[in-house]
Structure 1
Amino acid sequence: MEKSEIIRIRELQEEFFATGRTLKVSNRISALKTLKYSIDRHCDDISRALYEDLGKSDTESYMCEIGMVLHELSYMIKNTPVFAAPKPVFTPVVQFAATSWKKPSPLGTVLIMSPWNYPFLLTMGPLVDALSAGNTAMVKPSAYSPATSKVIKDIIEECFPERYVAVVTGGRAENQYLLDQQFDHIFFTGSKTVGKLVMTKAAEHLTPFILELGGKSPCVVDETANIRLAARRIVFGKLLNCGQTCVAPDYVYCHESIRDELADAIVDEIIRQYTSDPLSNPAYGKIINEKHYNRIMGLIDEEKTIFGGDGDPETRQIEPTVMTDITWDDPVMQEEIFGPLVPIMTFSDTDEAVRVINAHPHPLALYVFTEKKKTARRFMNECQFGGGCINDTIIHLASTSLPFGGVGESGMGSYHGLNGFKAFSHYKGIVDKKTWMDMPIRYQPYGKLTLKLLKMFMH
């Protein structure tokens, strides 16, 4: 898309927002219902596109993308009237007589830039929240998932005029054109490298933004954990979408006394869930492109591999691969893996584990498997991370009641449910001062009792 066309659409959306039509809650609900109906109608098209781009099965596509968007839509359709209503707050006695409230208002025209790994969920999820909050939106899906981007474009164009919601397809040039424009908010999901560019461009216009990035999310397993169940849930979280999940357990960090037992259990679970020949399993996905396939294969150390390690460049599939005796100096620990590799590291005690995790950049997620509540609380309280689970992986992402977002290098800002509504809203603080009384204490000239009275009321 040409830059002039992007500018035209943005100006069109600004004009539409200025009409006030998105302010009416009934109009927002109508838009959300229209989108939900269209997604229901296009479920098969979405599944086919996700299979073409990432090799996702129909079940995984619905469980991890389509179903989650529909759930967010249902939740926001039900709760938007409550979220959008003014919220009364306490009024200090020094402001007597008055009432005070917080009034949520939409930010305006927002830009949503989404990634390729969950191309439908991470495009439509933020869009649902943006529409619930009353914004217009320009949506830029990833060029790496073209089939899904096309379906997204078809659905949005079926539901909305471009003055309300528009899709911009293309690659780096279109990204640059968009970031050169002034939006009222930018929502970006993707890599840290591009996230830094978004921050830089947003700063030029003083545009607020939310960044959902990633990082090396640890999965801690102590000596009290239910090893078999831990292995089952780790394999589920790690191999979902062939490991291409921002909150996947990046590496397993276990107590040294259980390493061999846990490693064997993980291998058993891989075979149980994906068969002994995962590359022939139709429910096992593929790496998004050749570049990422080669990058992930380059992280495999054959001498430390106890299971898997092979790949098929023709199908861009990589076997689930388990590696032991891993240290922080190994290539697999130098970057976020974003693939089906399971490096296993060990610690000797909880103090060491907490210290090591905190010595590295804050991850997007942290998982702890333990039967000790005290141990679980310690990791949850003392480690910095975006969100996580105790005795499970991934599932915190699926709750509309929980904020989802990173901290530090893993991102900033959060969304989902009410937090998503807040992410795309500005809360105005408003005081309604009554006219039937006017306290003279604040006006000059100040009398002898003024300071005494202020200290009494404001202390």
Structure 2
Amino acid sequence: MMAFAETLLRLRSAFVSGKTRTLEFRTGQLDALINLLEQNEEKLLRVLYKDLRKCKFEAVIAEIRFARNEVIYALNNIASWVEPELVERNFVTMMDQCFIRSEPFGVVLIIGTWSYPIQLLLTPLVGAISAGNCVVLKPSEVSTNTSELLATLIPKYLDKDYVAVFSGGPVETMNLLVYKFDNIFYTGSSTIGKTVMKAAAEHLTPVTLELGGKNPCYVDLSFNLESTAHRLAWGRFFNAGQTCVAPDYVLCTPEVQRLLVPAIEQAVHTFYGKDPKDSPDFGRIINDQHFQRLQQLLKSGRVAVGGQSEEQDRYIAPTVLVEVTESDAVMQEEVFGPILPVLNVGSLEEAIEFINRRRKPLALYVYSTNNQVVKEMLENTSSGGFCSNDNVVQMALNTLPFGGVGFSGLGIYRGKFSFDTFSQKRACMLKSAGMEIMNSARYPPYNDQKLNILIWATDIKKRGCVCRVL
């Protein structure tokens, strides 16, 4: 704790120096982050494989290049992001300079998670650096090998006076949260998210919580069989199902289920072969604790596809469960593994009612070739993100915000949204010291004439509303 206190003091002194506010420093650190990713790609691939048996394709696309693209996007746009944002003025302020200035918070804490240990630590870091903050990074101790490598590499590439990395488990994390930060960004479970929020409340520290939840997927009668099966299987079983935006359960009629489940089984065979255990493209569960948790969830409903497991290898086959009820264990928590429960509903309206009586999810998916079905699902539900006729891919576009709502999260990031998340929006008005006659109407003694002048000068006039229908 003494070492951390000294580090925090060093970071605060560095921030006060003003160096992080310069565009040159920010872009220099972002360039260094690109170098870290490019010059150590093979090392990063090796540790991701050790932790999750993550194959090269998934590691490059969803970890290394994902983070690199976020850096490149920031470098391409940061010059415009840091410019003051001019605002509309009224008659009284017509001669003044009125604008919003984006300023760094100060020293911020970013707590990463293990499922995507590079992406979910470095992507918010891009926003924090772009906004001009000093940063404390806390990688997840669960993804041991990746976290150790990042803790070694980051001080070699980024300025140690402005970015620090602290390792350790839950105890060390709680010790960090005792200190005052100017902003906290956390990715992980809702249970720990509550703890982070409580700790932040002691210092009135703003927080961003990227949590999870049970992401529903409604498959309509008008669905395209082949594409739906392929896209669902890919999204659910990517990274062995350990993805926060993966479809967590399927809602459909019995008629749709009879067609869909065999099609998913065929997709699994196409993707991973007859025995996915032998596929170089299928990952493993992160640790024994999560393996045992998933083993219990396999007891829900009836296994229609997969179901095999091997404890020593932490392998659980791509699995589809049917005859699942809302009260089953697999419906009480986020699955976060290669298990896809299917529940039967009688109609779109019943699916919407089912979704709306549960906690708001991080993502919501609908498969239908009927645009009206997609529109009704979009307009009558709430979720952090929404995608029709696919899943997970909305994450690939950093011009869309990423974040949850309610129990699935608080706040958004990605691209410009990350910059805004780590920036204080400072309201600025620069007035002239002269032209005092313009202010006489606001000074006592008051009278009706002065009141009418100020009403005329400050009232906002109502304009017609032009609405666009999607």
Band the TM-score falls in, shorter-chain normalisation: over 0.9
Q: 2:66 aligns with which of 65, 68, 88?
A: 68
Partner residue in 1 for 2:274: 276
Q: Is the 2:285–2:291 contact (alpha carbons within 8 Å) kept by the matching residues of 1?
A: yes
Distance of 2:6 and 2:370 partners within structure 1: 58
After superposition, the CA RMSD in angstroms is: 1.1
Partner residue in 2 for 1:107: 105
Deviation by residue 1:338-372 (Cα, 9 ceiling, x = unmatched): 00001111221111111110100000000111111
Q: 2:205 aligns with which of 200, 204, 207?
A: 207
Deviation by residue 1:197-231 (Cα, 9 ceiling, x = unmatched): 00100000100000000000011110011121011
Q: Does 1:173 align with 2:165?
A: no
Partner residue in 1 for 2:453: 453
Deviation by residue 1:9-55 (Cα, 9 ceiling, x = unmatched): 11110000000000001110011001101210000000001000000
**Alignment partner of 2:168: what SS?**
coil
Q: Is the 1:279–1:319 contact (alpha carbons within 8 Å) kept by the matching residues of 2?
A: yes
- Matched to 1:228, the amino acid is E
Partner residue in 2 for 1:392: 390
Partner residue in 2 for 1:328: 326
Q: Does 1:337 align with 2:339?
A: no
Distance of 2:108 and 2:91 partners within structure 1: 39
Partner residue in 2 for 1:56: 54
- Matched to 2:362, the amino acid is L
Per mean C-alpha deviation after superposition, the further-off stretch among 319-328 and 179-188 is: 319-328
TM-superposed deviation, 1:154? 2.1
TM-score scaled by length of structure 1: 0.98
TM-superposed deviation, 1:436? 4.1
**Alignment partner of 1:39: what SS?**
helix
Partner residue in 1 for 2:250: 252
Distance of 1:310 and 1:360 partners within structure 2: 30
Partner residue in 2 for 1:432: 430
- Matched to 1:446, the amino acid is Y
Q: Is the 1:9–1:162 contact (alpha carbons within 8 Å) kept by the matching residues of 2?
A: no
Q: Does 1:353 align with 2:351?
A: yes
TM-superposed deviation, 1:124? 0.6
Partner residue in 1 for 2:370: 372
CA spacing shift, 1:201–1:303, aligned 2, 3 Å: closer
- Matched to 2:13, the amino acid is E
Q: Is the 1:363–1:386 contact (alpha carbons within 8 Å) kept by the matching residues of 2?
A: yes
Aligned pairs (5 A) from 1:405-416:
405-416=403-414
**Alignment partner of 1:22: what SS?**
helix
Unaligned residue ranges in structure 1 (runs of 5+): none
Partner residue in 2 for 1:217: 215
- Matched to 1:454, the amino acid is L
Distance of 2:301 and 2:92 partners within structure 1: 73
Distance of 2:261 and 2:339 partners within structure 1: 13
Distance of 1:455 and 1:104 partners within structure 2: 31
Distance of 2:361 and 2:46 partners within structure 1: 32
Q: 1:30 aligns with which of 28, 47, 59?
A: 28
TM-superposed deviation, 1:60? 0.8
Q: Is the 1:244–1:338 contact (alpha carbons within 8 Å) kept by the matching residues of 2?
A: yes
TM-score scaled by length of structure 2: 0.95
Partner residue in 1 for 2:260: 262
Per mean C-alpha deviation after superposition, the further-off stretch among 38-47 and 428-437 is: 428-437
Q: Is the 1:219–1:249 contact (alpha carbons within 8 Å) kept by the matching residues of 2?
A: yes
Deviation by residue 1:126-163 (Cα, 9 ceiling, x = unmatched): 11110011001000001111110112112211112332
Distance of 1:200 and 1:147 partners within structure 2: 30
Q: 2:19 aligns with which of 18, 21, 41?
A: 21
Q: 2:6 aligns with which of 8, 12, 23?
A: 8
**Alignment partner of 1:405: what SS?**
coil
**Alignment partner of 1:404: what SS?**
coil
TM-superposed deviation, 1:303? 6.2
Partner residue in 1 for 2:462: none
Distance of 1:55 and 1:48 partners within structure 2: 9
Unaligned residue ranges in structure 2 (runs of 5+): 460-470
Provide the aligned length of Structure 1 versus Structure 2: 457
Q: 1:136 aligns with which of 134, 152, 159?
A: 134
TM-superposed deviation, 1:452? 1.6
**Alignment partner of 1:393: what SS?**
coil
Distance of 1:437 and 1:303 partners within structure 2: 77
TM-superposed deviation, 1:377? 1.6
Aligned pairs (5 A) from 1:225-236:
225-236=223-234
- Matched to 1:450, the amino acid is K
Partner residue in 2 for 1:196: 194
Q: Is the 1:388–1:394 contact (alpha carbons within 8 Å) kept by the matching residues of 2?
A: no
- Matched to 1:220, the amino acid is Y
Partner residue in 2 for 1:383: 381
TM-superposed deviation, 1:95? 2.4
Partner residue in 1 for 2:240: 242
Deviation by residue 1:403-453 (Cα, 9 ceiling, x = unmatched): 000000000001000000000000111111123423111111123301222
**Quick one: percent identity of the two aligned structures?**
37
Q: Is the 1:6–1:177 contact (alpha carbons within 8 Å) kept by the matching residues of 2?
A: no
Partner residue in 2 for 1:159: 157
**Alignment partner of 1:384: what SS?**
coil
Distance of 2:62 and 2:114 partners within structure 1: 14
**Alignment partner of 2:217: what SS?**
strand
